[in-house]
Structure 1
Amino acid sequence: MADSGTATRNDTRQQTGTPGPMTTPDGGGPARAELTTKSGKTRIAEGVVAKISGFAAREIPGVHSMGAGLARRVGQLRGLVPGGTETIRQGVSVEVGEHEAAIDLDIVTFYGQSIVDVSEAVRRNVVDRVQAMTGLKVVEVNINVDDVFVEGDQDGDDRQQRAR
């Protein structure tokens, strides 16, 4: 990821673990992947890569939901409102360069599932789907397992059961 025009991580992200904003080289608007051919250019927005990644992660058995803490709870509430849906990009952040993408996922697994196996399956599926659909090289998929869902636990947070 050292060459120019690739997905890069900024200093803020490395220190805090949160994605830093990526903008176009002229400083305006969200970053987009740009695939250049003899016939013209194709630009792929970060939101497109995030959406593909979200769908790909959710395809894996063992992934209960996505998102960390409060964002996941807000998404659950949004799903209860008529006409509201949980956003597919929840728990997904991406950085896209001209030829490469880096992806971060926050997932919740089911209790009893191998976190290692689920994480590797998610990583493989996200890489395969993004590369096949966009032509971008996925240089990394970082997965943060934020929680473990326990059946009968309404919000996936087993702290309530430990408190009983």
Structure 2
Amino acid sequence: MTTPITDKAATDKAATDKTATGGSRNLPVASNSSLLTTHGKTTIADTVVEKIAGLATREVNGVHALGGGVARAFGAVRERIPGAKTSLAQGVSVEVGERQAAVDLDIVVEYGVEIGELTKAIRRNVIAAIERMTALEVTEVNITVGDVHIEGDDDKDDDSARVQ
């Protein structure tokens, strides 16, 4: 007797998460989760998942920075304020449901790095970190490469432009 093959997507329930733009994304619901038990439900804030994804992305060699040009400019200004901290979620946006998460990353890569291999490594690291720390299933990690960093291209303080 043979067992029929079933389509997992057809048998999973769908959970709808609202996006920042007001749209919705249907994410399949995982069948088991340590976040929903008979003793209660654990909710993980978007900012927690954003920080985990940001740190996991920065751990991968070949990633120079996260965020688009404007986000990096604000980050540079923020870093100059005494006592201010670098935003670990810069360049990261997430959608978090009850059991699943989707991640969008904006990155700047180092010149010479093979982008396809770099993005594979980023996806592996981000998925592993989020799933290990939160028990959420990561359904997708979308990566936008917005720039290439060339050594020596950093904006250095120009002493002649300063008021003395």
TM-score (norm 1): 0.75
- State the alpha-carbon separation in 2 of the partners of residues 3 and 94 from structure 1: 21
Are 2:15 and 1:5 equivalent residues in the alignment?
A: yes
Q: String of CA shifts for 1:51-91, please: whole Å, max 9, x gaps.
A: 10000000001111100111111112211222122200000
- State the alpha-carbon separation in 2 of the partners of residues 89 and 129 from structure 1: 14
Task: Please give the root-mean-square deviation of Cα atoms over the aligned residues, in Å.
Answer: 2.3
Structure 2 counterpart of 1:103: 103
Structure 2 counterpart of 1:112: 112
Are 2:57 and 1:57 equivalent residues in the alignment?
A: yes
Structure 2 counterpart of 1:48: 48
Q: In structure 2, what residue type is equivalent to 1:90?
A: Q
Structure 1 counterpart of 2:38: 38
Which secondary structure does the structure 2 equivalent of 1:74 belong to? Answer: helix
Contact 1:75 1:85 (8 Å CA) reproduced: no
Q: In structure 1, what residue type is equivalent to 2:130?
A: V
**Aligned positions, number:** 136
Question: 5+ unaligned residues in a row in structure 2: which ranges?
Answer: 1-8, 24-33, 156-164
Structure 2 counterpart of 1:78: 78
Which secondary structure does the structure 2 equivalent of 1:88 belong to? Answer: coil
Contact 1:57 1:125 (8 Å CA) reproduced: yes
Structure 2 counterpart of 1:20: 21
Which secondary structure does the structure 1 equivalent of 2:42 belong to? Answer: strand
Question: 5+ unaligned residues in a row in structure 1: which ranges?
Answer: 11-18, 23-33, 156-164
Which secondary structure does the structure 2 equivalent of 1:126 belong to? Answer: helix
Whichever of the two has the greater Rg, that structure is 2
- State the alpha-carbon separation in 2 of the partners of residues 36 and 76 from structure 1: 40
Which range moves more in the overlay, 72-81 or 113-122? 72-81
- State the alpha-carbon separation in 2 of the partners of residues 53 and 145 from structure 1: 16
- State the alpha-carbon separation in 2 of the partners of residues 71 and 21 from structure 1: 22
**CA offset at residue 21 of structure 1?**
5.4
**CA offset at residue 39 of structure 1?**
2.0
Q: Give the fraction of aligned pairs with identical amino acids, expressed as a percent.
A: 49
> Taking structure 1 as reference, are residues 82 and 147 closer, same or farther at Cα in structure 2, changes over 3 Å only?
same
Structure 1 counterpart of 2:161: none
**CA offset at residue 114 of structure 1?**
0.9
> Taking structure 1 as reference, are residues 68 and 3 closer, same or farther at Cα in structure 2, changes over 3 Å only?
farther
**CA offset at residue 3 of structure 1?**
4.0
TM-score (norm 2): 0.75
Q: In structure 2, what residue type is equivalent to 1:38?
A: T
